[in-house]
Amino acid sequence: MTAGRALVFVLALSWANALPTPGELDFVENVRDVGMPRIVSGWEAEEGQIPYQLSLRMVAKNGAVFSCGATIIHSEWGLTAAHCTAERVTIVIRAGGRALSRPQLLFETTDYYNHPEYDESLTIVQPHDIGVIKFNRVLEFNDLVQPIRLQASADKYKNYDMIRLQTSGWGRTWTNGVGPEVLNWVYLLGTSNARCRAAFGGSPIVVDSTICASNYNVTSQSTCQGDSGGPLVVIDVDGLPSEVGVTSFVSGTGCHTGFPAGFIRPGPYHEWLTEVTGIDFDWDPSSTTPTSPSPPEEDSEESEEGEEDTSSSSSSEEGEEDD
């Protein structure tokens, strides 16, 4: 695979059928690839394993329905990708539980705030792909519903190259494949911005506020259609999880092709987040006591080996358009 072949796509899914020409940036909905269905090459989450994960269903002005992920960052606020909520008229949110058909909470909101430098009128991949959702209710936290801490501003440009990260979502399990009923998760390896930018032929989309991640131990591991807006998580210096990325884009070659997936770092946006929400989400990593996280449990399933990894968009289509 040459860098010239790498196209960057937002992890969204719509019903557009035309393939982009080389070098174009577009939504992941336009990513088309033939493959057997198989997040990609990951594992089903246990109940309560990822209590901060949200599922979104958004309705556009023309009645089209899109699917995305998001995270709980406060009892009244969620974090997602701006392209998920851009120009949507309503958002249905599922929280708690791993199965889409059995959420602990199911509610609707119309309030969202996308970063002012994200242009909602443009249907192309762009930086600042980050936004917040106002729940218009106060969530009661329990074993299945919990917030996640955001990346500290002190670490906003940290190099996560070769650091193990985790992402999750209800997105398709293969390019153009099926969307699961049960939440999936997968390990990824951080990829330096320099290597990520080179993989996409020097694309200007990979900026300082971008974080990229590639497959962990099987080339097909990645996010896919329907995972947009979901979390990229690291075990931080104190042994607790922090969200260091919001799922944004992938290669136009597909979800399982081996190119890095792109995420937006929350760290550079703390000032804006506080301005919009009135809440200070920042914290000081130097004030924490470093601990060694518990060793990971043995993977209950082995990802299929020998599959070619093609990083593709992370949204899943379920008779709906997915962001």
Query: 267: helix, coil or strand?
Result: helix
Query: Among 14, 55, 74, 129, which one carries the catalytic annotation?
Result: 129
Query: Among 14, 55, 83, 309, which one carries the catalytic annotation?
Result: 83
| Phi, psi for 234 (deg, rounded to 5) | -125, 150
Indicate if the alpha-carbon torsion angle 312, 318, 319, 321 is positive or negative.
negative
CA–CA distances in Å: residue 320 to residues 78, 107, 199: 22, 19, 31
323 is catalytic: no
**Residue 7 · residue 19 · CB < 8 Å:** no
Our measurement of the distance from residue 132's CA atom to the centroid of its chain's CA atoms, rounded to an integer in Å, reads 14
Specify which residues 55 forms β-bridges with: 69, 94
312 is catalytic: no
Cβ partners under 8 Å of residue 120, min gap 6: 82, 86, 87, 114
Query: Among 41, 228, 312, 313, which one carries the catalytic annotation?
Result: 228
Angle at 220 between CA 215 and CA 223, to 5 degrees: 70
129 is catalytic: yes
- The residues assigned a catalytic role are 83, 129, 228
